[in-house]
Amino acid sequence: MSHDAFITREEIESKSSGPLAGRTIAVKDNISTDGVRTTCGSAMLEEYVPPYDATVVERVKEAGATIEGKTNMDEFGMGTTTETSHFGPTTNPVDDERVPGGSSGGSAAAVAAGEADLALGTDTGGSVRCPAAFCGVVGIKPTYGLVSRYGLVAYANSLEQIGPLAPTVEEAAELLDVIAGADERDATTRDRGDDSDYAAAADDDVEGMTVGVLTDLVEGADDRVRSVFEDSIDDLAAQGAEIREIELESLAHAVQAYYVIAMSEASSNLARFDGVRYGRSGGFDGDWNDAFARSREAGFGPEVKRRILLGTYALSAGYHDKYYKKAQDARAWIKRDFDGALADADVLASPTMPVLPPKLGESLDDPLQLYLMDANTVPVNLADLPAISVPAGTADGLPVGVQFIGPAFGEEQIVRAGSAVEG
């Protein structure tokens, strides 16, 4: 028997006394788990079993948590409802006729239904915050570089981060405390600092905090969502926060810029799934191009194919400067706007999602409408900033989330603001 088959005394003590001891955790199915299928919600990886754990999985295990299972997701993270999953949609525990959000819908639903104490999701353009808002739980998108992406099956490298979902702000912050920090296997990460304690920041104290309300993102929201959001802002003001209205002209271009960049990166990243290196085989008769085409035709769903085609087009000769370069210029503009706004405010606020959770099947036939649902969340990923979604109340019996955005590596500020709304 190999040494790995034995559990050391130190490992036993860690599991019984670690910060997550006794907690169960669900893991989104694009995060590698040693010996456990990791499908990314796709037929392409239906039988893929990673030979190693992602860094975040190693860290939660070391902290004493038990992996409860893998959770359903939109295929390769491409979607806002989980309906693009090869394995079928997840339903919302609040109303089983509605979507739970996406792409981390399975993780949010598992927490909301009490099937796991905590969960890990990934956020490329809102994929932790959207399902958190739709399911009535807390979700954090960390600053780019705070959490290691080693072991994450990539969709759009420059945008995505792994983040926690939990029933409360403090519990989400506790999970962030465990997974955050530098990792030598991910060169984009940085040391979080010895004095950071995200859970301790959940102290409800917003006295003197300046909250900038992003009017551009409020005005486009459903009236019912806006009403709940405004009530939560009034509550913060009653607790001593200073409220300011802020307009950012660049936000009007965020969705377009995001999808050009995300689809372009996806086109490049998913090229590895050719039936030879990874993924479902296309057979061995005919030439390689035929086998490659058969593998991808059978392995990818309609939304993934759409995004690969659009991303390839945006990167093609003659169109790179027209689309991709302009999108990167818009990204830089959005980043500058956020930096300027956060020089005048401690956190920025908006509704997490501009709409209530749609019914199953309601949005699949209109991809453009699905993309526009991300209007409030994608700017944060383009600017590499942290954000949290916290339940703010309900409208027509359905959850509404409020989003707080902080400066880079300012997770304490968003946790504090979120805890005040929750409290």
Q: What would the mean pLDDT of 196-221 be, rounded to a whole number?
A: 96
What radius of gyration, in Å, describes the C-alpha atoms of the chain? 21
**CA 115 to mean position of chain CA atoms:** 20
Residue 28 annotated in active site = yes
- Identify the pLDDT of residue 15: 62
Query: Per the residue annotation, which of 32, 42, 85, 127 is the catalytic one?
Result: 127
pLDDT at 385 over 60: yes
| Alpha-carbon span 307 to 269, nearest angstrom | 12
The count of structural domains within the chain is 1
* CATH number of the structural domain spanning residue 201: 3.90.1300.10
Residue 103 annotated in active site = yes
For CA atoms 355, 360, 361, 365, the dihedral sign is: positive
Residue 276 is assigned to a structural domain of this protein: no
pLDDT bin (cut points 50, 70, 90) of residue 265 is very high
pLDDT at 4 over 50: no
Residue 306 is assigned to a structural domain of this protein: no
| Alpha-carbon span 370 to 365, nearest angstrom | 9
| CB-based burial label for 408 (10 Å; 0-12, 13-18, 19+) | middle
| Alpha-carbon span 240 to 423, nearest angstrom | 14
Query: Per the residue annotation, which of 32, 42, 103, 104 is the catalytic one?
Result: 103
Residue 234 is assigned to a structural domain of this protein: yes
Residue 194 is assigned to a structural domain of this protein: yes
- Identify the pLDDT of residue 12: 53
Range of the domain at 139: 6-249+332-422
Query: Per the residue annotation, which of 28, 61, 70, 141 is the catalytic one?
Result: 28
Residue 326 is assigned to a structural domain of this protein: no
Tokens standing for residue 397: 């019996």
| Alpha-carbon span 99 to 134, nearest angstrom | 8
Residue 110 is assigned to a structural domain of this protein: yes
What value does the mean pLDDT of the chain take? Answer: 94
| Alpha-carbon span 24 to 180, nearest angstrom | 19
Closest CA to 139 of 115, 91, 105: 105
Tokens standing for residue 423: 């409290």
Residue 127 annotated in active site = yes
Residue 176 is assigned to a structural domain of this protein: yes
Q: What would the mean pLDDT of 2-18 be, rounded to a whole number?
A: 56
pLDDT at 400 over 80: yes
**pLDDT tens column, 61-94:** 999 999 999 999 999 999 999 999 999 999 999 9
Residue 317 is assigned to a structural domain of this protein: no
